[in-house]
Structures are given as C-alpha cells and as structure tokens.
Structure 1
Amino acid sequence: MNGPDEWDDHELPSSPGERPRIPSPRTAAEDLGPLPDAQPAPVRDPVQDTGGGPREPEAEPVTELPASVPLPASAPAPPHKVLKSLLGAWALSACSAEETAAVEAHLTDCASCADEALRLRDAVGLLHPADSLDLDPLLRSRVLEGCLGRRPARIPVPEWATPYDAETAKLDALLRDMGEAEWRAPVRLRWFEGERPVERETTVAGVMGHLMAVDGLVATALGLPDPLGTAAPPGTPDPLIRTETFWRTPEGEPNPLALRAPWRDQSYALIRQVSFAGDRVAELAVPYGEFRLALRDSFLDRAFECWVHAGDIAEAVDYPYEAPASGHLHQMVDLAARLLPSALADRRRAGLAAPPQRLVEAGAPGRTLHLEVEGNGGGHWYIALDSPAALGTPERTVAHIALDSAEFCQLAAGHISPEEAAAGQNGERDAIREVLFATASLSRL
C-alpha cells in the first residue's frame, strides 16, 4: 500500500467484476490504545464504474477512541512499533527489566510479534551452540590428509616426519591464544635419572626455549642455523647443556610472546628441508651427546618430546590436550621399543643393571621379553635382553609385559616411575624390572 486511500498497481482488479486483492495489513487498532466496546465499521468493497474501470476504494474509517475511556494510573505501554524493535534485544536477553516486562506483556496480545519472537529465539540458539567452539587440534592434520588424498603434494612430507609436523602444529595452536601471564605460568618438568625421578621447575617460555634449543641439534645436522648462534657450547652437543645455555642468553629471557615465532619458524624450516631432501637424508646421524640417532628417528624423538612438553604446558594452564593420532603414536612407541636394548646395555655399563645371564654373538638369538602395548598406537615387540645387537624372537621369550599405550608413554617420558607402572607381568621378575627401568631411562630434560 502506498497510503490509506491508494491501491498499488498489483492490487488493482485485472478484469471487470473481479474483486480487488486484499491489501496488506494496516496498523492494528490496538496499537493506538485500548479498544472501545463498539465494533468497528465494516470496510466497503470497491465499486465498479460504468466504464468497466475500478473506482478508487474509500478509505477505511478510523475508529476514534472515546474520550471517556480512562487511562491507566501507571505509565502507558510503549507503542507497537517500539516494542517490535526491541524483539531482537529481548531474544538476546539484552533488554532491561522494564523493557523485558513490556515486551513479554505485549507478546501475550500480539500474535505477529509472538511468532517473530519465537523465530528470533531459535536463531539465537544457533548462535550459541552447547559444544565448545575451540578448534580440534587435529583439524589441520585431517584437512591436509583429506586434501592430499585427492591431490598428492608436489613435494610430500616424508612419513617419518609427519608426527613432528602434526605435534608442532598442535602445540602452536595451544600457544596462539595464550597471553603473557600464561607464558609465565610455572611448569614442572619431570624425567628419570638412574634409579630416581628428577624434577625441575621453569615457565611455559622456558619449555619453549628448551624445545627450540634441542630442535637446534636437528637443524644444524641439516645445515640450518643454530638457534643458539655464537653462544652454542663447543664440543659435545648435550641437550641439557644447550638448554641451560639458551636460558642464560638474552634470547632466553625476552618478552615471552616473542618465543613462539622463532620456534615455529624453525619447525617450518625443518619440515621444509626434509621434504625437499626426502629419504636421502633419512639415515643422517644426529648427535645427542653420548648417543646418536638417525634423522628419521630423531624426528620421531622430537615429535614425542613436543607432545610430552605440550602436555606439561596444557596442565600448567589448565587446558585439555589430545594424544597423537594412532598412526603417529605407534611410530613413537616403536622408536622407544627399538631403543630399549641399547638402554639396557647403557644401564649395565653404569652398574645399574645385572649383567646378562648369557653371552651371545652379534645377531645370535638370546633371551627375549615380549612387550605388549595395548590401546591406541599399540602393538607387540620382542626385546633382546642379553645384547643390543641381538634379535628378539618369540621362541626365546622368558617374560611378558602388558602396558596401556598412554601408560607406556608416561613411563618413557619419566612422568611415572617403574614401580608405579601398572603392568601385566609374567615370567622372569629381574628381566621385567630391568626393562621397566630401561624404559624410564629413555626420558631426559
């Protein structure tokens, strides 16, 4: 409608004798105040003239409120137009108490506004879902996996480097929304030395400095810059010495928020370097002080430590943190199982374990412990007990240990002691004890 006395073109009758279309609703009489007892005058139909064209309809009479209707003692209710404009704020619970009362009183009398209010309330429910809006830390990995399944990457990341890529991305997602106060939150680091657990307290920033300093061992092996620069200690590249050196440098105590960018840039550089080099560098030796790891195993070691320390950070800031994907966790557990014969030999040289019960030649069968890791990422491994060069075989099994994958990883990280490991045990007690302690000895700062 263009006005109370005019018809729009689409409301004109299309032929003589046809009634015109019903016009759009006008302002309700209720909006002008209480209605009188008298009924409103009926609206007359438009009359056709002798020429066949429609005559302009007469305006509907406006019912005047009688002067005798008494006004309420309280303040009058806001007009319909004002109350209708408040429906959005009412649906969001943003109205004042007076406005809320006025709107809800109006909804009992106005059907159109009541319908609109219901629609707005439903829409508000969609804006505030019950589930958390935090992104799943594994979302990036799943999206990349789906994309690469449709179109393989021109330069793919080696399979042995994908756990490190995923765990650094998860940790970066945790760090992204942390403020300076959270970066200074105290973090308790735990590991196992010899026969006893060791603890050290630092901050979230200190943990990230530690990760960056130890990742620097892999970076220098690949020809990338050392994050310690000229402050790098000469001689044996021990991870503990490098960490303490970094903590003492000016870079180790900057604005904590400034640590995230160089650590993430370094992790990107490592992934990019091995993606271009591929399996040609998989067996490149990376020194870790008294031992060395092949580059492929070094990336798994760094992925495991990144996950463990990310869990330490999440615990410090009271934030949930997910375990690695099943395939990635299996690779990390496999690395720990493969390192156990060497860890047993190291403990024997240090006088912390009994000598082997029998001598075996390199490659010859010896006593074997069956390690069964259950749950996500688990599997079965046969650990040679008498020589790091021997091969474990099911036929020579003298003991069996069954551990949950999460419990095995906590033991390998030094977060629980061998006595606390609730393992299913069967067979030679000494062999079981030595393997549990050797697993704990894999941990370090």
Structure 2
Amino acid sequence: MSGAEEFRAGYGRPHGRRIPTPRTFAEDGAPPLPDPGGRGEEPSVPPDLSHDVLKSLLGAWALAACSAAETAAVELHLGDCGGCADEARRLREAVGLLHQPETLDLDPALRTRVLDACLDRRPPRIPVPEWATPYDAETARLDALLQDFGDAEWHAPVLLRWFEHDVQTSRRTTVAGVIAHLLAVDGMIATALGLDDPAADPAGATGPAARTEALWRSTPFPGTRAVRVPWREQSHSLVRTVSFTGGSARGLPVSCGDFRLPLHDAMLDRAFGCWVHAEDIADAVDYPYRPPAPRHLNKMIDLTVRLLPGALAARRRSGRSTPPRTARHLTPAGHPGRTLRLEIEGPAGGNWLIPLDSPAATPSTDLEVAHVALDSLEFCHLAAGHLLPEEAAAGQLGDRTAIRDVLYATASLSRM
C-alpha cells in the first residue's frame, strides 16, 4: 500500500480526530478570537496552497498545531502525494515518542514497595527482625545514593556536627571519610556479634570518635570510593547475622564507648546515624534526600526519648543541669516524680512522658510540670547535634527550666 493509499485508509489523521477551530468567545472577557472558517465551522473549501507550503506544514500537522483550514488542506494533499504521506507517517510516529520530561531519580520508597510485594507472594525463609529493618532500609538507601558518585563527589567536603559540653562541635572530612566513619562505628556491633571488624584498631581504640580517628589515620587521604565495599559488606553481614539468630540476640549488650545498649537499640541507633550522615552527604553534593519511613523514624524517636532520663541524670552529675529545687523532688526509684510531656508532631510522632528527677522514677500525668511540642524532623536534628537547643521551634508550656534541661539533654545525645 502506498503512502497516499495508507493515509486514505485512515492512518494519517493525527490522534484520530481533527483539531477543533478556535472558540468564538473568550473565557476571560477579552474580544473573541478570529474564526478562520466562519462561525466555528471548518471551511468548505480548503485553501489552495502549493506543494512546498503544504510540505512545510507537515511538522505542525503532526503536532496537531495547524488551523482547521490548514489541516484540511494538508490532509487533502496527503491523499494524493505519496512522498508527503510517507513523511507525515514518520513524523506522526516521532511525535508518539515525545513525552514530558521525567526525573531519573528513583522513588526512595520503590525498594520497600517491591520487597513488600514480593514478600506478600512468598514470605522469606529467614525474615529480618522488625527491630533491624530500619538499619537495613537506611543502609540500602545510602548505598543507592552512593552508587553513581564519581571522584568529585567522593572527595566533596562534608562538615560533621555534634553537641559536646553544651557547645556545637564540628569536624571536616569528605564523603569517603563519612563512610569510613560509619564503617568504624558499625564495627562495634560487628565485634559484639563475633564478626570480623575491618576497622579494628591495632592499638585498641574504643568508642565511636576514637575508632573513627584511628581509621582515618590508617588510610590514605583523601579517601576514595574503595571504602564503600567494606562498609556495604559489613552492613549486609550485620543484617544477615541478626536474621539468622531469629531475634534471640536482641538483648546482647553492645559497647558504644562510654555506655552500652542492647543489640536491638544499638541497631536502631546505627540506623539513625546512617540517616543523619546520609543527609550530610546529600547536602555536600546538593542532592535531595528524604527522611526515613514514618514507622522507622518513630522507632528512632522512641529510642532517643528512652535515653533522655539517663542523659538528664548525667548532666546533673556534671553540673550542667539545674538540680531539683528541694529535696522532695529527689524521687526514689519506682515512685512517681516530676514529669515533662514531649509531643512530637508529624506522621512519625506521638506523646511521651519523661521523668525529670531520676531515670528510675515513674512518669506521672498528675506531676506533669511542663509540655514541649516539636516537629519530628526538628527533634531528630536536635538529637543529632545539627540544631542548637535555643533554635528549636518548640511549643513550650510550664516550667522553663525543665524544658531547657530536656532540650539540652536531647542535644547532648549527639556524637561524631
């Protein structure tokens, strides 16, 4: 079938319909548009145009951008000219390939949706414990961010920030240095599980900061993409090992430097650290990065809140927190005492009651002396040392001294 015959068979009309004529009225009250065909109807006789002019209109016709009169003239010509009909067909096919520009970035939730769909069809033989899923998700998200980095991104400067002795402290490194830091700190969990620790210091350095400094000194500077492989292999080993235990190891004590956490809390702590430093990296390369899934972020917030009574007590012992005004506020263990209500807003939020005068005291609504409201991300940035307590946009009601102590105690939980 020739191009002209194919067109006459009905192939050639764009999108299967003729372009309507312009309206004879304007919705905004402006003068009506001119009607080339007269009162909204197509002209009964197409204009007499030369072959060259009609050929020049083929591109506009394929894009459905011709007037009604031009469309009629072009389609009449295509029924008689095989060369133009073939060209019109090719242009029509090319137009079909055009689409609105779309982002090349994958939806961070895509991996979770795919895995959920797969697991709905076939449950895993060895499922990941619920308390380890935030760590699994955050390490996978950070690894996805890193996979396309070139040398320039790996050497991009990153400013690590944390709160120490009521002062915001910082340390400059690179993207590769941040991954080395995560490798060093995650190695404390690897040691507790009896796994190989690729960041072990021969001199026996312990604690997140000391282990990180030792690893930075032992590797060439600036760091390179080579650090990604041991970090990702270590994160896979941690998730795989805790999955094989069937969750029975959740109470295993993990040394975190100057304090210990049970394994399930240590994994949550490392998920939080992974997300915070992923944001540091994303900021350094000017790339957007979304917060964790609300159900995972809620677990991280809950861990932070559970650590606050101990942080308040440590600040009192060091003299950086206001002591109770009278002896009657020294609450014995197991007894109700002064309480602050912490309200975290957002899909990952909730309400928590925090005992103010003793980690072993029982929080009580009857003895509630203050109420603080914070956005979930703002609370997390405060706990990460990225936000000063004075800068926290907190809704505050009640005892201002208690509120200040809790905000500073939250910031004191941060570390390198």
Corresponding residue to 1:346 among 285, 305, 314: 314
Moved more, 290-299 or 149-158: 149-158
Structure 1 residues 140-173: Cα deviation after superposition (integer angstroms, max 9, x where no partner): 1221122223322110000000000000000000
Q: CA deviation digits over 1:100-142, x for unaligned, max 9?
A: xxxxxx99972442243022122133xxx42202112221122
Distance in 2 (alpha carbons) for counterparts of 1:312 and 1:204: 9
Deviations 1:284-314 (A, max 9, x none): 1111121111100000000000000000000
Q: 2:208 aligns with which of 239, 252, 276?
A: 239
Q: Give the corresponding residue for 2:93.
A: 119
Alpha-carbon distance change, 342 to 116 in structure 1, aligned in 2, over 3 angstroms: same
**Aligned residue number for residue 196 of structure 2:** 225
CA contact (8 A) 1:329 1:377 kept: yes
Contact persistence 1:233–1:242 (CA under 8 A): no
Q: Structure 1 pair 168/341, CA: closer, same or farther in 2 (3 Å)?
A: same
Q: Distance in 2 between matches of 1:145 and 1:26?
A: 50
Partner AA of 2:118 in structure 1? C
- Residue equivalent to 1:178: 149
Question: In 2, distance between residues paired with 1:107 and 1:161?
Answer: 66
The one-letter amino acid of 1:338's match is R
Q: Which amino acid aligns with 2:337?
A: G
CA distance 1:107–1:247, shift in 2 (3 Å)? farther
- Asked whether 1:287 is paired with 2:255, we answer yes
Structure 1 residues 26 and 145, CA gap change in structure 2 (3 angstroms): closer
**Residues 1:314 and 2:259 aligned together:** no
Would you say 1:329 and 2:297 are equivalent positions? yes
> After the TM superposition, which residues 325-404 of structure 1 pair with which residues of structure 2 at under 5 Å, given as runs?
325-357=293-325, 358-404=329-375
**1:16-415 paired onto structure 2 within 5 Å:** 24-25=1-2, 110-125=84-99, 129-229=100-200, 231-234=201-204, 237-250=206-219, 253=221, 256-357=224-325, 358-415=329-386
Query: What residue ranges of structure 2 are gaps of 5+ in the alignment?
Result: 6-51, 64-76
Between the aligned partners of 1:253 and 1:158, the Cα distance in structure 2 is 38
Q: 1:271 is matched by which residue type in structure 2?
A: V
CA contact (8 A) 1:107 1:113 kept: no
Q: Deviations over 1:307-366 (max 9, x none)?
A: 000000000001000100010000000000000000001111111001234111111110
CA distance in 1, matches of 2:211, 2:411: 22
Deviation at residue 255 of structure 1 after TM alignment = 5.7
Q: What is the deviation of 1:254?
A: 7.3
Q: Deviations over 1:68-89 (max 9, x none)?
A: xxxxxxxxx9xx9xx9xxx9xx
Secondary structure of residue in 1 paired with 2:246: helix
The verdict on how the C-alpha distance between 1:334 and 1:107 changes in structure 2, with shifts beyond 3 A counting, is: farther
> Relative to 1, partners in 2 of residues 1:121 and 1:426: Cα closer, same or farther, differing over 3 Å?
same
Amino acid at match of 1:249: S
Q: Structure 1 residues 113, 386: CA separation in 2 closer, same or farther (over 3 Å shift)?
A: same
Give the direction of change, closer, same or farther, for the CA distance of 1:351–1:149 in structure 2 (3 Å limit).
same
User: Distance between the aligned counterparts of 1:258 and 1:107, measured in 2?
Assistant: 61
Q: Secondary structure at the match of 1:394?
A: strand
Q: Name the CA distance, whole Å, in 2 between partners of 1:409 and 1:305.
A: 11
TM-score normalised to the size of structure 1? 0.74
SS for the counterpart of 2:320 is: coil
Distance 1:26 1:222 in 2: 73
User: What are the Cα deviations for residues 408-444 of structure 1, in whole angstroms up to 9, with x where unaligned?
Assistant: 0110000010000010000001000000000000100
**What amino acid maps onto 1:383 in structure 2?**
I
Q: Distance in 2 between matches of 1:380 and 1:121?
A: 55
Whether the aligned pair in 1 keeps the contact of 2:338 and 2:355 (CA below 8 Å) is yes
- The answer for unaligned runs of 5 or more in structure 1 is 1-23, 29-76, 92-105
SS in 2 for 1:200: strand
Letter of the 2:214 counterpart:
T
- SS of match in other structure, 1:278: coil
Work out which of the two has the higher radius of gyration on C-alpha atoms and give 1 or 2.
Answer: 1
The root-mean-square deviation of aligned C-alpha atoms, in Å, is 2.5
**SS of equivalent residue, structure 2 residue 390:** coil
Tell me what 2:8 maps to: none
Q: What is the aligned length?
A: 347
- Give SS of 1:315's match: helix
* 8 Å Cα contact 1:232-1:245 kept in structure 2: no
Distance in 2 of aligned mates of 1:364 and 1:205: 49
